[in-house]
Structure formats: structure tokens, C-alpha cells
Amino acid sequence: MRPPQPRTSLLTLLAALLAAPDAARAEVPHLVRVDAARALRPLRPFWRSTGFCPPLPHNQADQFVLSWDQQLNLAYVGAVPHGGIEQVRTHWLLDLVTARGAAGQGLRYNFTQLDTYLDLLKQNQLLPGFELMGSPSGHFTDFEDKQQVFEWKDLVSVLARRYIGRYGLAQVSRWNFETWNEPDHHDFDNVSMTEQGGRCLLGSCRAARVGWGEMQCPEDTPDPPFHPGFLNYYDACSEGLRVASPELRLGGPADSFREPPKSPLSWGLLRHCAHGTNFFTGEQGVRLDFISLHRKGSGSSIAILEQEAVVLGQIQQLFPEFKDTPIYNDEADPLVGWLLPQPWRADVTYAALVVKHQNLLVANASTAQYKLLSNDNAFLSYHPHPFSQRTLTARFQVNNTRPPHVQLLRKPVLTAMGLLALLDGEQLWAEVSRAGAVLDSNHTVGVLASAHRPEGPDDAWRATVLVYASDDTRAHPDRRVPVTVRLLGVPAGPGLVYTTRYLDNRLCSPQREWRRAGRPAFPSAEQFRRMRAAEDPVAAAPRPFPVGGRLTLRPELALPSLLLVHVCARPSGPPGQVTRLRVLPLTRGQLALVWSDERVGTKCVPVDIRDPFLPRWPGVQPGQQEAVNVQPLHIQPRCTHSHRPGFSPLCAGPPTYLAGGPRASGRGWVQGHELKATGTLVLQTQLLSLAPTVFEPWTTGPGQAPSPTLCRTWRSLLPEGRQLQADWQGA
């Protein structure tokens, strides 16, 4: 599938990488040591979040949030395996709600558009980061108006009860309800959020405690005569959620917490929650289930951590009652400005930087309860910068076909989220040194390592070692970093094997293929094939793990690059069944298949998808066999076969088609695994792929519908036909 560099040559190159002789190295290698017998602590995947903001005007947010392009984008996001991304934090959600009625006479709300968006998230196994942000039909204008404060509380209560009824409390209690985004930036869209009582660190210097003297507030600053509108708004959010269920959580203020007296609303919210008076109950103090802050880097991973440390130190000094409150940095991007084109955002530089940032946080010895990191990168890119904006996918609006259509390509940063998803819940001891000196995490080479202990008779031991080479936003095309990886302490187990996956800008950069093609605005089908062939890391076939529990690899890593070593023992039973098979009709002759790995129960099963029946289906002509050209969203250590005539398979060796779709065994201990949609369609799959989602290129643009002929064909074949029709009409 990558014609200039066949799969066999890539595997040969990877083997050469791992076996490079010491004599060829011009510099002292980094030594990466991992002890699988030394578990340090739980490793919680706090990085599983992304987000985006719909463009102006926000009262037309539905045109973006519910567009076909964004539906495909969310399918890609939700396709990261093993819940690798589970939250999408979205601005202006309440602008998807419309209101009818007059103030004081009762309001009625239409939640149809919000229902549709939340259903879309759920369908892709994603949770909303639910910012209580927006004004339904522009009704809310002033939160110093008590009538509007009570109406807002009622709105939040109605909304929360609605979705508890729709999805269940177990689901909605996992949502992170949050305040209006970045209140100190005053982006309120004609809603008044006053700062009265918020200045000079929250208005009352006479109430200041020890340590507040540095804020230099005038001694005669009066106490606020009334609640500022923002605090009224917060109390209404809190009490509205509490009426629906005390199990729903609320946090904020989702802002930068600049040095006081700046950011008065952010600091004011903390003081209000610690010592203020609840607008509704009159009680002192208001719940704050998590503190969310926004600190971004200036192209540096360590800069984010340093800024966070300053803010968290101030919070703990001024408000010790919040020392155990969870901390979220839910806009922790390396650089502000999502639409600002940056070369490093296009390739593995961004991917390696994201992994490095997670490792810095894991290694941080801070006492703060850091629980969530989110990068705001679920936007949709646009011409002429399909790769270089802050996105997970590269979007091409192809206007030279009828009808115009959209294609999304997976950027390396999205693939990196799949690599992170292979980490498990037990952090292993790991160390990087060079010439005998131990290095901290803020260096070019770093490592995250984890293990999984069997939890039942059908489970098995596994370990993951993820090594990065990163100089933050700087790429060094001609530099290679010699590394020695030593994994020891691996327990003996049945059928113990290991595999490697490698990602760098020469082998795994769709953007590089696009540039080689001359940066076409409307790439041809062949050019898209070449770009897609560069989406996946180079993966080596499983090899027996050395006897004695020790493994040594000596790769030379490009700068930047990622290397993952995965060690798996053979389970005593087969994996679980893949579920939730969906078909997304795209355009004539092409579609997307989406499924879930939630019941598979292991991260150590290879994936292969085959369809022997497609040429015989009604409505599909021999020249349209690309309708199920199954290309995985992530790594394919084995084969995924193309059904297009004349296509090369994605791995060495000829395609193998199943006669009648019986279960087939994979090489060694790995067995195949069926995805049954109907009695005639059997997709044979072996799940070692990083992703449970498969996409083939062509999609439709905003406002365009997929081919009605294709929709009718699939509705006649699959039991979900009615759902497919609804999806098509809604697109």
C-alpha cells in the first residue's frame, strides 16, 4: 500500500534499526532500562481527552458540530483503541438548545440538536466534557438578574435530568460538567458576567489571610455589596446539577489563573467556593469537585509543567482546603492558537512531544492531585494547511468531483494516542542514563513503561515500553540517537512473545507523502493511497521472548521518533468478541466500518479484516470493490487486505480470502476472531491492530449526502438499515 517503500523493505529497515552495530554509532548511546519485576504505582491514563470550539457565530454551532465532516472526525477520535481517547470537551454546547417563552412565565426548551450531538459522542464511545456555556436562543443576558439566575438553575436541572433519563446515571455521573470557558477572557456572547467583588483578589482585602499581603490590595477596598454575576451563575450550575443528582460533578473555572490581581473571576471562584455564601442555600462554601486550569507551552513541554507548578503552588498556599481537590489542565497544548500553521504539528514531532509531556507529568513528584490533561486538538483543518494546524486529522475538501467530498487522514499525533492506549495500569520502574549519568524526564530520550497482571483464567501477563526521542517542537532530519533498551524481570509464561512498533518522519508521515506529491489541493486517489500507506508505524512480527526474562534492543532512533516494545504471554482462552459493528455510507462505492473492542479483553491480539462476499452483493459492481477497502486506523502488525483490483496488500505476501468466512487461525498462538453483521457478511478479524475502526477514503462534504444507491444497497444487506438511513438523512 506504500508503493515506493514496500512493507517488506520497511520491516527489513526496522530489523536493521534494532540490530545496528555499536561501531556505527558516533555518540554515546542512551541506556533505557526497564524492570518488569518492579511495579512502582498505579499508572492512570489521565491524557485521554481532546476538545474543540465551533466557529462563530456560536448560535449556529449546530452547522459545525453536527456536520458530516465532524461526524467523521469524531469517529476517528473514538476509534483510538482501548478507550485511548474518551472525552471530547466542547465549547458552546448550550447554543445547541433553543428556548421559548417569556421571562417569569415559564420557559420551554428544545434539546434536539444537543441530543443529536451527545448521541453521536455515545455512538463513538466518547464522553462529553460538558461546559455549561452558551445562551439558549439568547435568552440569558444578565446573571445579576435574580429571575435569570433561578431560570438558569432550572435549565441545568432539566438538562441533567433529561440525560440521566436518556443515558442513565452511571453514564452521566462520569461526565465532567464545567463552568463557562475562560471567564476572565470575557467571551460571554452578550451575557453579563460581572466582576463586582472580584477585583484585588476577590474584592475583600479585609478578609485576607496570611500570604495575601503580596497582592497589594488597597486597605480601604470595600466588601462586595452583592454577588457578582459569575458567582451567581456558578451557584445556579451547582444547585441545578445537585437537584438532578448529588453524584454529578462540577468544576472550573477553566482559565489561566494569572498572577493576582489578574484573573479576578478565577481566583474569585476559589474564594467563593471556600468561604463564600451560596446564593440559593445561604450556606457558607460551595462545592468544587475539580479545579480546571489552562496553561499552554510556548513550544516547550517543560514550560507547561513549570507554569502549572506555579499556579498550583499559589492555589495551595491561598486555599489549603483545596489541597486534595483534583486538578485538570484541560487546555494543555504546546502552543496557543489552533489555526496557526506550524510545521511540527504536521508530523511525528507533535506526536513525540505529546508522549514526552505525559511522561513529564508521570515523573512529576508534585503533591497536587493531577487527574486530567486535555489537548484542544479535535478541530477540523482547512486549506491550505491540512496537516499543520492543531488537529488530530488532516482534512481535505476535494471539490473537483461531483458531488464534492471530504477526506480525513490520520496524523501521527492520533497514532501516538493509540500507542499510549497500549500502556496498562501498573507503572514499572524505568530509567534513562547516558555515560553512567541518570537523566530526568526533560531530556531528548525518555520512557514510559507499564505491566498488566492477569485478572482471570482467560487473561495473561503483558508489558509495554514506550520510548520517545523528542526535542520538543524541533526536528533534526539528519540526526539519529543511538539507544540501548534493556527489559529485564519478565516472568516466564506460556507462549511469551514481543513485537516492536516504530514511528518517524521518514517512514510514517502522510504529510511527507503529500509534499512529495507537490502539495495538491485535491489529491488523486493514488496520492491518497500513498498518504494512507504512511499512517501506520512500522511493525515487526511477534518474536519469541528470550529465555531468562531479559531482552536487549539497540535501535538508532530518528529525532523525533517513537518506539514501542510490547511483550505478551499467551492467554488460556480466546479473546472476546468485537461488537457494535456500524457501517457509515460515504459516497459511491465507498463506506466506513466502525466497531468496538470493549469486550475483546486483551491488547495482545492481531487484527485482520477480510470480506470474500463483496463482489456478489447486489448493487456492487466488480469495479466498485473498493466499497470495503479496509484500511485500519492504526497499526497493523499483520495484514489488512485491500479489495481494490490491482492494489497491493498492506503487508508481505498475497491476499488470503476466506471461503465462506469460517474462523481461521493466525500464526502461532493467535487465533482469528469473527465480526458477523449478517448471515452473508463475515469480516474475519484478528485484533492486534491499535484501532477498532476502519476507514476508506471518500466522504461527503458539509450538507452533502452519501450516494442514495449505496445507502439502499447497504440497507438491504444489514439489519441496521433504518439506522443507516437516519444517519444518511442527518448528514
Contact 356, 446 (CB under 8 A): yes
Least confident range of 135-149, 306-320, 588-602? 588-602
Q: What is the pLDDT of residues 234-278, one digit of tens each?
A: 999 999 999 999 999 999 999 999 998 999 999 999 999 999 999
Beta bridge partners of 520: none
State the pLDDT at residue 13.
53
- pLDDT over 50 at 497, yes or no: yes
Q: What is the pLDDT of residues 80-115, one digit of tens each?
A: 999 999 999 999 999 999 999 876 678 999 999 999
State the pLDDT at residue 458.
77
Query: Shortest CA distance to 188 belongs to which of 219, 142, 220?
Result: 142
Contact 592, 698 (CB under 8 A): no
7-42+428-568 folds as Immunoglobulin-like (2.60.40)
Beta bridge partners of 567: 463, 498
* Position with higher pLDDT, 352 vs 649: 352
State the pLDDT at residue 400.
84
- pLDDT over 70 at 704, yes or no: no
Tell me the C-alpha distance between 422 and 429, whole Å.
17
State the pLDDT at residue 21.
45
Q: Which of 328-337, 614-623, 665-674, 716-725 has the highest mean pLDDT?
A: 328-337
pLDDT above 90 covers a percentage of the chain that reads 59
Would you call 455 a catalytic residue per the annotation?
no
State the pLDDT at residue 26.
63
Query: Shortest CA distance to 438 belongs to which of 26, 25, 32?
Result: 32
Tell me the C-alpha distance between 358 and 334, whole Å.
12
Tell me the C-alpha distance between 404 and 382, whole Å.
15
What average pLDDT does the segment 637-658 reach? 25
Which is catalytic among the residues 182, 195, 331, 556?
182
Least confident range of 283-292, 511-520, 541-550, 707-716? 707-716
pLDDT tier, 688 (very low <50, low <70, confident <90, very high otherwise): very low
Q: What is the pLDDT of residues 155-212, one digit of tens each?
A: 999 999 999 999 999 999 999 999 999 999 988 887 877 755 444 334 333 333 333 3
Q: Taking CA 157 as the corner, what is the angle to CA 103 and CA 55, rounded to the nearest 5 degrees? A: 75
Q: Taking CA 531 as the corner, what is the angle to CA 528 and CA 536, rounded to the nearest 5 degrees? A: 130
pLDDT tier, 500 (very low <50, low <70, confident <90, very high otherwise): very high
CA distances to 338, 347, 587, 707 from 402, rounded to whole Å, are 31, 31, 10, 11
User: Helix, strand, coil shares of the chain as percentages rounded to 5?
Assistant: 30, 25, 45
Tell me the C-alpha distance between 307 and 662, whole Å.
57
State the pLDDT at residue 101.
87
Contact 243, 152 (CB under 8 A): no
Least confident range of 202-211, 322-331, 357-366? 202-211
What average pLDDT does the segment 484-509 reach? 96
DSSP 183-199: GGGT--SS-B---TTTH
State the pLDDT at residue 446.
97
- pLDDT over 80 at 585, yes or no: no
What average pLDDT does the segment 563-572 reach? 94
What average pLDDT does the segment 21-34 reach? 75
pTM beyond 0.85: the answer is no
Least confident range of 284-288, 300-304, 329-333, 388-392? 300-304
- pLDDT over 80 at 622, yes or no: no
Domain boundaries, given as residue ranges, for the chain: 7-42+428-568, 579-730
Least confident range of 84-93, 262-271, 560-569, 612-621? 612-621
What average pLDDT does the segment 217-232 reach? 58
Residue 554, amino acid: R
What average pLDDT does the segment 132-153 reach? 95
pLDDT tier, 637 (very low <50, low <70, confident <90, very high otherwise): very low
Q: Taking CA 232 as the corner, what is the angle to CA 229 and CA 237, rounded to the nearest 5 degrees? A: 125
Distance separating the N- and C-terminal Cα atoms of the chain: 30
* Position with higher pLDDT, 511 vs 641: 511
Q: How far is CA 617 from the centre of its chain?
A: 36
What average pLDDT does the segment 713-731 reach? 30
State the pLDDT at residue 588.
63
Average pLDDT, the chain: 78
State the pLDDT at residue 14.
55
State the pLDDT at residue 331.
93
Q: Which of 40-49, 396-405, 597-606 has the highest mean pLDDT?
A: 40-49
pLDDT tier, 298 (very low <50, low <70, confident <90, very high otherwise): confident
For CA atoms 433, 438, 444, 448, the dihedral sign is positive
- pLDDT over 70 at 62, yes or no: yes
What average pLDDT does the segment 691-698 reach? 31
Angle between helix 301-318 and helix 264-275 axes, rounded to 10 deg: 40
